[in-house]
Structure 1
Amino acid sequence: MHFQPDPTLDSFRQEVRQFLRHHLPADLPWRKDGMRSPRADLVRWQRLLDAHGWGAPYWSQEHGGTGWSVAQRLVFDEECAAAGTPSLDGFAHKLVGPVINHFATPEQKAEHLPHIFQGTRLWCQGFSEPGSGSDLASLRTRAERVTGADGDHYVVNGQKIWTSYAHQADWIFLLVRTDPQAKKQAGISFLLADMKSPGITVRPIISIDGCHHLNETFFDNVRVPAANLVGTENEGWKLTKFLLNNEHATTADLPTLRRSLSQLHALAGSARAGGMALAERHEFLLRLARCEAELRAITVMVQRVAAMEQDHSAAAHAMGSILKVRGTELQQRMSEFLVETLGDHGAVAYPDPHARNAGRRALPMEDAARGVATEMFFRRATTIYGGTSEVQRSIIARSLFQF
C-alpha cells in the first residue's frame, strides 16, 4: 500500500495553526503527563471546536464530522499537541461515538450525539472485570431483561474495574452477559447507562504516580432501559470487535510520541552527561535516531489501518493489533529514554508546579522534567489496557493463517 504526498496538507496545517493562534485561550492549561484535562477545560475546548465546525474531527461528514482524511487528522492531532490544547473525550469521540454512528437507532443518535458535539456528556468504558484480564469474553456482569409498569428494563448486577474517569463520567458504555447459557463470545450485549442511575457505585483506585484516573465500578440491581441497548441483544461481540479495533488504532497515540521526540531533541542540545552535551554523544544520537525511525514507521502503520477500515478490509483487525503492540511499546521506551536523559532531574515526579521552594526560581532542567516521570509511570500500563501485548500477539499469529 502506497501513500502519495498530499499537496494540500501544508495549507491545511497552516489553517489549523491559524485557528489555534486565534481561538485557543491563553488561560486553558494543559497536562504533560498523559492524564485527561479537567472537565471544565475539556468542555470549554470542545465547545470552541464545535463552534468552528470541528466538533467531531475524527468522524465522516455523513455523521456530522469534519470528513478529514487520515493525514489531516494526524496533522490536527500533532498541531493540537504542539500547541498544548486540552484533551478531547476520547471515549466519546473515538470509541462509543463511532459505535453509535454505525449501530445505534435514530432515537439513540438524537439522544447522545448532540452532547458529544457540545462536550456536555462525558463517557467511560465498562469492559474490564476482576479476574478476567484481557479476556473480555469471560465477563460475568449480568443483565436480565424484565418488563414492568414503567416499561422494559435490564437489571444489571456485577463489577467493572480499571474504569478510567468513571468518577467524572456522565454515562458509561458497558458489556453485559444477557444469555448465560451461550458460548463465551455469544450472549453478550452492549448497553449505555446513566452513571447517576441508582445502584451504581464508583470507588477510586489511586495509581503508583499518585493520580486518580482509575476506578472500580459496581452495579447493584441497576435498571437500564431496554431502549439503551445498542444493536441486537446477544450480538454485542460484533460491536465490541468494531470498537476494539478503533481503540487499538488510537492507542499508538502519535501526538504523545511526537511530543516525546520533540522533548528529546530539545534536551540533546541542553543536557550534558560526563562533561559533554548529549548531542555530542554517539550512543545518545543512535538511540534517538532509532526512536525517530520507529515513530515514522508507526505513522505509516496508522495510515494503513485507517485505509483498511475505510475499505472494510478483513486484515484491519490484525493490523490494529500490530499497531497496538508497536505503538504502546514505543511509548514505554521513549518515556524511559526521557527520564534517563534528564539524569537526576528525571527521578523526581514534580507533581505540583506550586511545590517549589518559595522565592526560588526553577532551574531549566526542572521545568523540562515536569511531568516526565509521572508520564513514565502512566505509560507502564499501555501494554496492558486495551488487551495485553501477549493477547495482541496471539491475535496476530492466528490472523497469519487467514491471509
Structure 2
Amino acid sequence: MDFQPDTGLDTFREEVRAFLREHLPRDLAGKPVGSVRSMRPDLVRWQKILNARGWGAPHWAQKDGGTGWTVLQRLVFDEECVAAGAPTQDGFAQKLLGPVLNEFASPEQKAEHVPLILDGERLWCQGFSEPGSGSDLASLRTRAVRDGDHYVVNGQKIWTSYAHESDWIFLLVRTDTEVKKQAGISFLLVDMKTPGITVRPIRSIDDCHHLNETFFDNVRVPVANRIGAEGDGWNITKFLLNNEHASAADLPILRRYLIQLRTLAATQRVGAAPLIAQPEFALRLARLEAEVTAVATMVKRVAAMEQDHSPAAHAMGSILKVRGTELQQRMSELLVEALGDYGALAYPEPHDDGTAAAMPLQDVGRGIANEMFFRRASTIYGGTSEVQRGIIARMLFQL
C-alpha cells in the first residue's frame, strides 16, 4: 500500500466541502440523526439535493446511475458529510439493496425502483433476522408458497429498523423446505402497504423507536418481485453482505466521537482546571486517538485491497468490524464519563419536540447517553464479533 498523500483525493475533499458549504441547508445541518438514519423529511430533502448534483448514489457505478467514485472517495464523502452535520442517506437502499438491484435485478425491476431510490421517494427496510434466526440466518422460517403469479408469505421478522417509516422491504423467505437450508431461500421485494403486514414497535435501550417486529399474514407478493431465480436468495445475500468492507469500522462515527471528546476535554472542568489537565483522562484520550488513527490506516489498506479485488479484503473487513465496533463502545462510554454528573441523564433527543427546557451541556452532551446505550448493539448487528472472528479464522487459514 502507498502511504504517500493523494493530491487528487485532497482536491476531491475540497470539492465535497465546497458543495456542502453551498448546498447543505442551514436548517438541516447538525440536526440529530437517528441511530441508523435521519428523520424521513430531512433524509428525503437532502437526497433530492444530492441527486440534483449527480451524487444521489455515491456507492454505485456510473453505469448504474451512481457517481463511480473509488472506495477512498466514498469514505471522504461520508467523512465530510458527518463533519458538516448533513442528514444521512437511506443506507439500506444505497449500500445494501442498490448493489443487489444493479447486479441481479431485471431491467423492469431496475426501472421501477432505481429512480425512486435516487430521488428519495422510496425508502427501504431489511427483512432478514427472525426470532431464533439472527447469526444463523440460514435457519429462517418465514415461508413463501407459490400460488400462480404470487407468493403467499407467512412469518415474522424482528429488529426491522425503520419498518414503520419505510415504503418497501427486501425480504428473505423460505421457498423450499426439502433442500439444504441455504438452497431453499429466495429474495423478495415487498410493498409495505400490502395487506397482511403488521409492524409492531420495539423501543430499544437508547429509548428510541427505530426497531420493529414485522409480521406477515398471508401476504400476497407478485412473483415478478423476486430478485434472481427461486432459491438464489442465499447467494444474493452473501453478495449483499460482502460489499463495502472498508466501511465496516464506521470511521466517521469514531471521528465524530473524537471531536466530542476533545470538546468536553476543553470545556468540562474538575475544580479550576479543564478535564484534559487530568492525567488519567488525557492518557485515555491519547490512546483512543491513536486507535482511531490505526483504524483509519487500516481502512485505507482495506480500501486498496477492494480496489485490487483482493480476496483478503473480506477477512480484513471482519477485523475492521470487530476493532471498530468495540472502539465505538469504549469511546461512547468515555463520553458519558466525561459529562460527569450529567452523564447519568438521557438527554431528551428521542422525544424532544423543541419545547423542553435547555439542560446543562446540551450543546455538546445532547444524545450522548442515548448513543452509549445504542452502541451496546454495535458488536451484534451486522454480524456479531464472535461470527466475525470465525470468518477471520477461516479466511486467513485459507489464505
Superposition TM-score tier, normalisation by shorter sequence: over 0.9
User: Structure 1: which amino acid aligns with 2:364?
Assistant: A
Note the residue ranges of structure 1 that are not aligned, 5 or more in a row: none
TM-superposed deviation, 1:371: 0.8
Residue of structure 2 in register with 1:136 after alignment: 137
Could you tell me how far apart the structure 2 residues matched to 1:161 and 1:247 are? Answer: 24
Confirm or deny: 8 A CA contact 1:322 1:392 kept in the other structure.
yes
CA RMSD of aligned residues (A): 1.9
TM-superposed deviation, 1:73: 1.5
Residue of structure 2 in register with 1:80 after alignment: 81
Change (3 A) 1:17 1:243: same
1:270 to 2:267 alignment: yes
Query: Counterparts in 2 of 1:4-403, with a 5 A limit?
Result: 4-28=4-28, 30-31=31-32, 34-147=35-148, 152-246=149-243, 249-273=246-270, 275-351=272-348, 352=352, 354=354, 356-357=356-357, 362-363=359-360, 365-403=361-399
Could you tell me how far apart the structure 1 residues matched to 2:4 and 2:127 are? Answer: 39
Could you tell me how far apart the structure 1 residues matched to 2:2 and 2:152 are? Answer: 50
Confirm or deny: 8 A CA contact 2:33 2:88 kept in the other structure.
no
Confirm or deny: 8 A CA contact 2:37 2:91 kept in the other structure.
no
Could you tell me how far apart the structure 2 residues matched to 1:54 and 1:401 are? Answer: 40
Deviates more, 1:191-200 or 1:117-126: 191-200
Could you tell me how far apart the structure 2 residues matched to 1:305 and 1:232 are? Answer: 32
Could you tell me how far apart the structure 2 residues matched to 1:40 and 1:305 are? Answer: 34
Confirm or deny: 8 A CA contact 2:28 2:42 kept in the other structure.
yes
Could you tell me how far apart the structure 1 residues matched to 2:33 and 2:87 are? Answer: 10
Confirm or deny: 8 A CA contact 1:345 1:366 kept in the other structure.
no
TM-superposed deviation, 1:368: 1.4
TM-superposed deviation, 1:46: 0.2
Could you tell me how far apart the structure 2 residues matched to 1:227 and 1:4 are? Answer: 50
SS in 2 for 1:79: helix
Confirm or deny: 8 A CA contact 1:245 1:321 kept in the other structure.
no
TM-superposed deviation, 1:156: 1.1
Confirm or deny: 8 A CA contact 2:158 2:212 kept in the other structure.
yes
Note the residue ranges of structure 2 that are not aligned, 5 or more in a row: none
User: Structure 1: which amino acid aligns with 2:363?
Assistant: D
TM-superposed deviation, 1:251: 4.2
Count residues with an aligned counterpart. Answer: 395
TM-superposed deviation, 1:275: 4.6
Change (3 A) 1:177 1:308: farther
Confirm or deny: 8 A CA contact 2:33 2:87 kept in the other structure.
no
Change (3 A) 1:219 1:247: farther
Confirm or deny: 8 A CA contact 2:202 2:211 kept in the other structure.
yes
TM-superposed deviation, 1:235: 1.9
Could you tell me how far apart the structure 2 residues matched to 1:300 and 1:107 are? Answer: 41
TM-superposed deviation, 1:88: 0.6
Could you tell me how far apart the structure 2 residues matched to 1:176 and 1:300 are? Answer: 39
**TM-score of the aligned structures, taking structure 1 as reference length:** 0.93
SS in 2 for 1:173: strand
Deviates more, 1:379-388 or 1:276-285: 276-285
Could you tell me how far apart the structure 2 residues matched to 1:32 and 1:115 are? Answer: 22
Could you tell me how far apart the structure 1 residues matched to 2:127 and 2:307 are? Answer: 27
TM-superposed deviation, 1:117: 0.7
User: Structure 2: which amino acid aligns with 1:391?
Assistant: V
- Deviation track 1:85-137 (CA, whole Å, cap 9, x = no partner) reads 11110000011011111111111111111011100000000000001231101
SS in 2 for 1:246: coil
SS in 2 for 1:167: helix
Change (3 A) 1:4 1:221: farther
Could you tell me how far apart the structure 1 residues matched to 2:69 and 2:131 are? Answer: 39
User: Structure 1: which amino acid aligns with 2:333?
Assistant: E
User: Structure 1: which amino acid aligns with 2:93?
Assistant: A
TM-superposed deviation, 1:311: 3.5
- Deviation track 1:184-217 (CA, whole Å, cap 9, x = no partner) reads 2221111111111111111111112221100001
- Deviation track 1:239-259 (CA, whole Å, cap 9, x = no partner) reads 111111237654422221111
Could you tell me how far apart the structure 1 residues matched to 2:286 and 2:353 are? Answer: 32
